[in-house]
Amino acid sequence: MAAQQFPFRIGQRSRPLLRLFGVRTGNAFVVVGDELDAHFGFFRIHTPVTNIASWRVEGPWHWITAIGVRRSVRHGDVTFGGSHRGGVRVDFRDTVRLGRLRVPALYVTVEDLEGLAATLAARGIPGEDARRR
């Protein structure tokens, strides 16, 4: 399968805050090919697609809890968030490195949530759209 790129949704009011994380037009996207490669300003997580256990579309969330680069205290998952409207959670089989951190899951707020979910599903990765329950 050919690699596909999904740009992040960046909220107009979030842009000034996201500049603190180095996010600019053109450096906030997810590529799915043989690897999942997520770029968000100064930050990047990549792992082979075979390391993805599942995906889940979630949201929307409160603005204050969704924007920027965040790490969950409870589970250790990381968010690359440009919008509060929703995102795709990607769970890893084995943790993935982000600097000195070991990350069990990544939330990405790409523009095309359904497209990213469909791309992962087409590669045989199970998942669900939790917004449709």
In the chain, where are the structural domains located?
Answer: 4-132
Q: pLDDT 10s digit of each residue in the chain, 133 long?
A: 799 999 999 988 889 999 999 998 899 999 999 999 999 999 999 999 999 999 999 989 888 778 999 998 889 999 999 999 999 999 999 999 999 999 999 999 999 999 999 999 999 999 999 986 5
Residue matched to tokens 């929703």:
86
pTM of the full structure:
0.93
Residue pLDDT, tens place only, 87-104: 999 999 999 999 999 999
CA angle 72, 68, 31 (to 5 degrees): 95
Among residues 6, 25, 28, the alpha carbon closest in space to that of 79 is found at 28
How far is the C-alpha of 104 from the C-alpha of 127, rounded, in Å?
A: 16
